[in-house]
Amino acid sequence: MLYYVSMILKVFTKEDAPEMRKAKELGKKFEERDFTVEYYDAEDEGCTQALEIYDLYSFPSFVVATDDGMEVECWRGKVPLFDDVFNFLNR
């Protein structure tokens, strides 16, 4: 029996600096290709648990996770290249 695990891209931003806008733009590129993307504002109180789970302290940060939340890859404090993220989402 083959079990398919879907991947989710989680985009964490803080405030509205140019780097944060670039992070959101990258997320939109994946949405346009029908990947699941979740956006988190690090200043939102409801985001605290996710920040702790993925050990995030610098922003923007990107986490590729399985649909049950297990981290597959993470980029902290930078906007990664599209191809780098795509290689993990397209598994």
According to the model, what pLDDT value does residue 62 have? 98
Judged by DSSP in three states, 13 sits in strand
Average pLDDT, the chain: 93
3-class SS shares of the chain: helix, strand, coil, % to 5: 35, 25, 35
Q: Please report whether residue 58 resides in a domain.
A: yes
> What is the edge-to-edge ordering of all strands in the sheet holding 71-76?
36-41, 7-13, 61-66, 71-76
What is the total count of domains within the chain?
1
Percent of the chain with pLDDT over 70: 95
Q: Please report whether residue 1 resides in a domain.
A: no
pTM score above 0.85: yes
Q: Please report whether residue 2 resides in a domain.
A: no
Q: Phi and psi at residue 61, in whole multiples of 5°?
A: -135, 150
Q: Please report whether residue 17 resides in a domain.
A: yes
Residue 51 makes CB contacts below 8 A (sequence gap 6+) with 12, 40, 42, 57
Q: Please report whether residue 41 resides in a domain.
A: yes
CATH classification at residue 83: 3.40.30.10
Q: Quote the domain boundaries for residue 75.
A: 7-89
Q: Please report whether residue 56 resides in a domain.
A: yes
pLDDT in tens, 10-51: 999 998 899 999 999 999 999 999 999 999 999 999 899 999
